[in-house]
Structure formats: structure tokens, C-alpha cells
Chains A and B, each alone.
Chain A
């Protein structure tokens, strides 16, 4: 194959093309990673549908040491509540407990034990400290499907009238509380 003499400008452009592509990809990944640390980008967050919709119909029985609740209880609320799906067999749930135990004095937290034996969930809450104002048991995990839950922990900020205002499928962190949850909860208080 004979080599065509090419102009220096074109040659430089061809040399720069892969660098530009690599640079673009790098900036993209950097934005994703920095968004993950700041909490503005969450690759696990796959549940847009729940947002700004009323909580699904459900009625769940008591989980000791708390009392169960239903969709009607959440829809009748005048102030925001954090609904937290947890399980005794879930490691990230253990990790977020200290944060929830601090948050409970600023924002009521209602827990739902997901696919958990009642005695195991009770033991978990007794060991980790109980941040929950009410606790319900979703033993067969079917209410969780209506919420769009894909695993534990998952947390919803439910505003007045039972509207879901915020959601995460990651463990709650102090940064999330300061940057997102509390500002939003304060703005929802009437």
C-alpha cells in the first residue's frame, strides 16, 4: 500500500483525535466519581418512579418493639417522616444505624423490617439502638415490591400527605443528612 503524503495539519489532527476522545472519557468518569462522593450521582439509584408519588397501598403488622403502620398513617401525616427499610441480615443496615440514631431527634424515622424473622429484627434493634418511632414487619417482602424496593437498606423521605419526596438505595450518611435530607425535610414542614 502506498503512503499518501498528508499535510502536517491533518496529521496533527489525526494524532490529537485519540487524545481528545480519551480526555472526554476521563472528564466523564471524573464527574461520575466526584458525583458519587458528593452524593449527586448514585449508580445504584434506579427508582425514579417512586419520586413525587403517594406511598403505595400497604398495611403491615407490628414488629416488636414498635407498632406497625399502613399507607393511611403516612398519608395522614402533617410533617415529613423518613421511612427506612432494614433487615437484621443486612450489613450496610448495621453501618447506617449510628447515623440514624443521631437523626431520630431531628426527624421521625419509621422502620420496616424486610424479610426478617421477628425475633431477629428485635435483636437487631436492641443491639444497634432503636432509631424508629414505629416499626412494621414486611415478612414476605411483597409490600417492598410496591414501594419499588430492590434491597436493603432503602430509605424514603415521605412528605405531608404521604408523598414520596426523596429516595436512596444506599446507606444513609451524615453528608446525605446535612446536604439533602434535612434541607428537604425543613422545606416540607408546614
Chain B
């Protein structure tokens, strides 16, 4: 069977489009945002991964495609390019949005229960296990007397 050369060309073009479309789609969003210095970009990404997107709330601003997340990514990169430390940038964000913006909450009185919960759960588990195994086993009942043995065989006798 012969394929028309034009049709084959069209098919290849279509396949190429399908194959490379995802790359193009990513590229549109990314390079314009990225810092030219790879070390600075890496730092900006690390900071962004610690910041909550306030629109989606369960994503970091690096993962979210919300408008506000994009703006905050931009702000983080501006501050990194200015040479600010991670702590300075984090403080800048917390100053505006409160500790809620930090995906890793700081250790304070308010978050005490949150942070000690794994240890607390472990202690409770060990406590329950210790309490359960400490209890004495039920005593072995005394052997049946002749009378009891006779009653048992009466009861279990098949008719």
C-alpha cells in the first residue's frame, strides 16, 4: 500500500507536535521566571518550596500555578538576586502573611502539641503495650474431677 508523501509528512509533523508539545508548554512558564545564575535559582527554589501558596494552601508556591504563587516566586527571586539571606526572605514573607505561609511551622507554645505529637503517640503506645503485657495470664483451671468428666461426656455424646 502506498502512502501519499504529503500525508506522511503531515503525520510526522503531527507526531512531532504531540511529542514536543509538553516541553513547549513547560518552557512558556519557566525560563522567563528563572534567575540566570543556577546557584541563585536553586536557592530561590529551595525557599519557595518552604512557602505555602495562600490560594491553594496545600501546595508550595513552587508547585502552584496560582497567580499569587507566581507573584511570590517573582518576589523571592528579586530578593535572592539582591543578595538577601534565606532568613531575611523568610522574615519578609512572615511579616506579611504570618507563620501560616511557612509550610514548616516554627516551634512555639502554640505549635508545641503539633511537634511533640509523634513522641507523645510513641509514649502512649509503649504505655498501652506495657500495661497489656504486664497483666498476669489467666490461671490454668484445675483438672476436671471424675464427676465433671462424666457430665462432659454426657453433654458431648452424639445421639
Contact = CB atoms under 8 A, between A and B. Distances in A.
Interface of A: 2-4, 46-49, 56, 115, 140-142, 145-148, 150-151
B95 A49 contact: yes
A106 B37 CA distance: 54
Contacts of A115: 67
A145 B75 contact: yes
Interface stretch (B3-11, B96-104, B111-119): B96-104
Interface residues of B, number: 16
Contacts of A151: 54-55, 68
B71 A148 contact: no
The majority secondary structure among interface residues of chain A is loop
A3 B138 CA distance: 8
A46 B156 CA distance: 72
A140 B137 CA distance: 73
B72 interface: yes
A4 B71 contact: no
A69 B54 CA distance: 26
Interface string B56-99: 00000000000110011001000000000000000000111110
Nearest to A141: B71
12 contacts: A2-B137, A46-B54, A46-B100, A47-B97, A47-B98, A49-B97, A115-B67, A141-B71, A142-B75, A146-B96, A148-B96, A148-B98
Given A141-B68, A145-B72, A151-B68, A4 B138 contact: yes
A150 B55 contact: yes
B68 A2 contact: no
Contacts of B97: 46-47, 49, 148, 150
Interface string B37-51: 000000000000000
Nearest to B95: A49
A110 to B, nearest CB: 20
A146 B95 CA distance: 9
A56 to B, nearest CB: 8
